[in-house]
Amino acid sequence: MRSAKRYDALIIGSGASGGMAAKELTSRGFEVLVLEAGPPVNPTRDFSSHTWPYQMMYRGFGPPGWKQQEQWMQDTASYYSRHFYVKDSEHPYTTDPGKPFMWVRARIVGGKTLHWGRLSWRLSDLDFKAASHDGFGDDWPISYAEMAPYYDRVEEFIGVSGNNDGLTHVPDGKYMPAMPMTCGEHLLRKGAEKTGRPAISSRVAMLTTQPKSFMKGRRKCHYCGHCGDGCITNDRQSGLTNCGDAGWLTDRSGYRYDERDPSTGRAWPAMPDEFRQLALGAATRAGFPGFVPDACLVNRYTPGSRLTAHRDADEQDFEQPIVSVSLGLPASFAFYSLTRGGKGRGVALEDGDVLVWGGPSRLVYHAVRPIKPGTHPVTGGLRYNLTFRHAR
């Protein structure tokens, strides 16, 4: 199938390498296509860092034997995080006799950044120029001095906590405050010092202070300790839920309407009559009498969250309009045209504003620009949006 769209760069895989490459290229105006073999991530559904063992069958250990049958090489996969990884039963590999190799493979948007240990050490010239030190192999063609500015940039962008310890083999960097040592670690440090060895805090890509403004939607670590199960504080916290007969959702099979909430297996809560009347009244005043909403998407936006340009084209009846109710923090809504792209016309939305579009504009592309930080007397630092549609 031919596509008219031409891209400047094609990136295979959305892990740390692909993700960072995409960020750097797009920030310089490149049109980038990222192809990812794994499914998209929906933090609310896919991350179980806050799921207690008693909420899981088998207390989180999974049915006996599941790991040996499906993911025997995915050493760090737990029953909580198994969906981040490939199934060895589907992607087997062989190794030479006597040379076993454990190949942990992510298969999801974000790749191994969903489960890595977050340890973020700098290599030094002991590594880059190892051959000059020990005579083995070849020196790298780059030196630490050349790499240092890039380490600086990445550390500041992802947020790495740690101390500057003045050790040449693990060069210092641009760190947020280190996590305090535990009692056991203090004892270890004291013991190590007696032998002349420094014991230092790990340098880890975890936010120990309030995020900087460009760390959109991220939050300070709250030490829940389930980092490998998908860190919910790292998501953009733009949760969504639904009420009504049909709920809008995204999962491994893509976007769709479904009559059941996949997280509970139950029907969505009924749409309150007040909601229905509000939507009907607004649609009627906008010239669309007889609007019958059967889906109400409830979006929660934290500062920095946004909706990229899209159009609502999965409904059965485009004669029916869309009614959008804004609550809490203000937002800037952008209307484009029937094709993607262009500048977009901004519409400032305040708490209580209702936007209705339909007729010839029913399929226009629209977006919500990043929410600016603020506080609202009822919703605090959040914006909520109710989108009413006639889905089926």
User: Is there binding between residue 112 and ligand FAD (CB under 6 A)?
Assistant: yes
Minimum separation from the CB atom of position 18 to ligand FAD (A): 5
Return the residue of 11, 15, 334, 355 that touches ligand FAD, per CB under 6 A: 15
Q: Does 12 bind ligand FAD (CB under 6 A)?
A: yes
Indicate the residue among 105 and 362 with the shorter CB distance to ligand FAD.
105
Alpha carbons 242 and 246: distance in angstroms, whole number: 8
Binding residue (CB under 6 A) for ligand FAD from 47, 80, 84, 116: 116
Q: H helices then E strands: how many in the chain?
A: 8, 15
Residue placing its CB nearer to ligand FAD in the complex, 115 or 383? 115
CA 19 → CA 23, 77, 112, 353, 371, distances in Å?
6, 22, 11, 36, 23
**Strands laid side by side in the 322-328 sheet:** 240-244, 295-301, 383-389, 322-328, 354-357
Contact 46, 83 (CB under 8 A): yes
Measured at CB, which residue is nearest to ligand FAD?
15
231 binds ligand FAD (CB under 6 A): no
**Taking Cα atoms as reference points, which of 392, 246, 247 lies closest to residue 317?**
392
Total residues at the site for ligand FAD (CB under 6 A)?
24
- Name the minimum Å distance from CB 21 to ligand FAD: 9
* Best CA proximity match to 321, nearest among 352, 345, 353, 292: 292
Among 67, 83, 87, 118, binds ligand FAD (CB under 6 A): 118
Helix (H, G, I), strand (E, B) or coil at 10: strand
Tell me which of 45, 83, 87, 107 binds ligand FAD, using CB under 6 A. Answer: 107
Q: Where are the beta strands (DSSP E) in 109-246?
A: 240-244
Query: Nearer Cβ to ligand FAD, position 33 or 367?
Result: 33
In the complex, the residues that contact ligand FAD under the rule CB under 6 A are 12-18, 35-38, 76, 104, 106-108, 111-113, 115-119
